[in-house]
């Protein structure tokens, strides 16, 4: 009996300015810095456990922390050199996380124990990918191997997220152009090992060169297809993309598997293919650098743990704010000494003219936030319920379904911090649940 899925009802979203200024900038590998600071936990789930000590010599790919559960991954040294200290660094969520500071010897010698993993089935794939330290490279940081594990749900599609809908960011675009073989080989390998019948690589229409090169490299009679999607933010959000490609909805509190889909970022798939061929774990990232507050715009391949200040160099005097990620969902940095993380895909140094301050004016009840919400929520009503600290009403208004894309804030003529309110509303619901 064929599985019946919930029909998707996707809202409008917004037409955000593209600002893909670095799309023609081929990736450049930066020189290895004098030292890197590698947080032990750069993923959603159980923290990884430290497995090195001060004074230890490490190589590229040497584990510095081991996973402590199924929803957890290993973390590796991105340089060869000496462990200088074990410290703690402050993250944007207000938590301090353990980190390893490593002094580079400049040699970049790989760990001699590294060999390509022996992977012949799904179980071996999951184990290998967990040991690689791989998390979703599109920004969320969810351990990839968990998505690849056996599911009791009927799955019929591998969906590759290559939308890259955030303004400025072009690192995934460059992955499609520069690592085309790794992308397509990775997809083919996953189809075989996961036993899925087909794959769709979803790309927004504002990337015609990527669509062209992927189509031209797909083999005849392949079970991989390219789907060109309208350029609309937040096209790359998981629930939105699944709805627009399949017509199916991920139910409230559910996962992509509930819609019959395994969904992975395009850079994640390319990394899986590289790892299976070489055994080298996740130790570097391709990132976009842009914004008028700096003078090094482009796409760069950098070691994980490299300080943002080492990448940007001297900032322009007009630099107002540094973001990790895009302007819609990125996190403002409190300190440019913060390191590149596994899920960092962009660093933006923005001037005041490129940012919009939050004025906190009164809501004028225009309804633009609700009209453009891709999840068909009513942020104006959720805002009122949050002000009243009414957790029951927040839950009734489905605040937990918010994907924090920023469309509501973008469209608000009063510049109200609606996205932040939505995030706080989720915390209010969780708090009420804990009290019960």
Domains of the chain: 34-108 (2.40.50.100), 132-278 (3.40.50.11540), 283-355 (3.10.20.600), 368-435 (no CATH)
- Look at residue 356 in the predicted model and tell me its pLDDT: 67
List the strands of the sheet with 319-324, edge to edge: 28-29, 298-303, 284-290, 346-351, 319-324, 331-332
Q: Are 21 and 414 in contact (CB under 8 A)?
A: no
Q: Where are the beta strands (DSSP E) in 256-367?
A: 261-265, 284-290, 298-303, 319-324, 331-332, 346-351
Which of 136, 180, 143 shows the shortest CA–CA distance to 161? 136
- The shares of helix, strand and coil residues in the chain, as percent rounded to the nearest 5, are 30, 20, 50
C-alpha span between 328 and 340 (Å, rounded): 19
Rg (CA), the chain: 22
Q: Are 140 and 325 in contact (CB under 8 A)?
A: no
Going from the C-alpha of 300 to that of each of 61, 69, 286, 311, the distances in angstroms are: 20, 32, 5, 9
* Contacts for 114-122: CB closer than 8 Å, 24+ residues apart: 114/61, 114/278, 114/279, 114/280, 114/281, 115/279, 116/276, 116/277, 116/278, 116/279, 117/275, 117/276, 117/279, 119/193, 119/276, 121/193, 122/148, 122/149, 122/150, 122/193, 122/194, 122/195
Quick one: DSSP state of residue 352? G
Residue 292 phi/psi, 5-degree rounding, is -80, 0
Task: State which residues of the chain have pLDDT below 50.
Answer: 1
Environment class of residue 94 by beta-carbon count within 10 Å: exposed (0-12), middle (13-18) or buried (19+)? exposed
- Look at residue 1 in the predicted model and tell me its pLDDT: 34
Torsion of CA 273, 274, 278, 284, to 10 degrees: -150
Going from the C-alpha of 433 to that of each of 48, 164, 344, 395, 427, the distances in angstroms are: 27, 35, 32, 10, 10
Torsion of CA 185, 188, 191, 194, to 10 degrees: -40
In the three-class reduction of DSSP (H, G, I as helix; E, B as strand; rest coil), residue 434 is classed as: helix
CA atoms within 13 A on the CB side of 132: 33
- Look at residue 362 in the predicted model and tell me its pLDDT: 87
Report pTM: 0.93
Query: Between β-strands 28-29 and 96-104, what pairing exists: parallel, antiparallel or unpaired?
Result: unpaired
- Maximum C-alpha span of the chain: 64
Which of 84, 93, 114, 113 shows the shortest CA–CA distance to 42? 93
């Amino acid at each position: 009996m064929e599985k019946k899925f919930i029909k998707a009802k996707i809202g409008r979203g917004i037409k955000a300015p593209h600002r893909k200024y670095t799309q023609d900038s081929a990736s450049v590998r930066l020189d290895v810095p004098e030292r890197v600071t590698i947080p032990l936990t750069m993923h959603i789930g159980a923290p990884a456990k430290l497995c090195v000590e001060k004074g230890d010599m490490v190589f590229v790919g040497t584990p510095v922390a081991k996973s402590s559960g199924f929803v957890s991954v290993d973390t590796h040294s991105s340089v060869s050199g000496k462990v200088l200290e074990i410290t703690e660094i402050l993250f944007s969520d207000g938590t301090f996380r353990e980190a390893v500071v490593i002094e580079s010897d400049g040699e970049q010698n790989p760990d001699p124990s590294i060999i390509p993993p022996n992977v012949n089935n799904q179980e071996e794939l999951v184990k290998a990918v967990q040991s690689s330290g791989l998390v979703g490279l599109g920004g969320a940081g969810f351990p990839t191997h968990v998505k690849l594990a056996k599911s009791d749900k009927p799955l019929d599609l591998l969906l590759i997220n290559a939308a890259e809908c955030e303004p400025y960011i072009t690192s995934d675009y460059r992955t499609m152009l520069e690592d085309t073989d790794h992308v397509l080989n990775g997809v083919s390998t996953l189809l075989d090992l996961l036993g899925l019948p087909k794959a769709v690589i979803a790309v927004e229409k504002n990337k015609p060169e990527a669509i062209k090169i992927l189509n031209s490299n797909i083999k005849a009679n392949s079970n991989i297809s390219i789907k060109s999607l309208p350029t609309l933010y937040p096209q790359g959000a998981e629930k939105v993309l699944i709805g627009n490609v399949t017509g199916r909805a991920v139910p409230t509190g559910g996962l992509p598997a509930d819609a019959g889909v395994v969904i992975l970022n395009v850079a994640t798939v390319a990394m899986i293919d590289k790892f299976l061929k070489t055994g080298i774990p996740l130790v570097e990232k391709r990132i976009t650098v842009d914004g008028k507050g700096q003078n090094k715009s482009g796409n760069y391949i950098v070691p994980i743990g490299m300080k943002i200040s080492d990448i940007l160099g001297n900032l322009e005097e007009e630099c107002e704010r540094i973001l990790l990620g895009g302007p819609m969902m990125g996190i403002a940095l409190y300190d440019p000494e913060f390191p590149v993380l596994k899920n960092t895909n962009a660093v933006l140094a923005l001037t005041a003219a490129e940012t919009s301050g939050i004025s906190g004016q009164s809501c004028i009840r225009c309804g633009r936030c609700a009209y453009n919400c891709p999840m068909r929520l009513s942020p104006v009503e959720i805002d009122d319920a949050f002000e009243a600290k009414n957790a029951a009403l927040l839950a009734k208004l489905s605040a937990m379904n918010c994907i924090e894309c920023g469309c509501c804030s973008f469209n608000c003529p009063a510049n109200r911090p609606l996205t932040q309110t939505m995030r706080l509303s989720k915390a209010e619901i969780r708090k009420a649940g804990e009290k019960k």
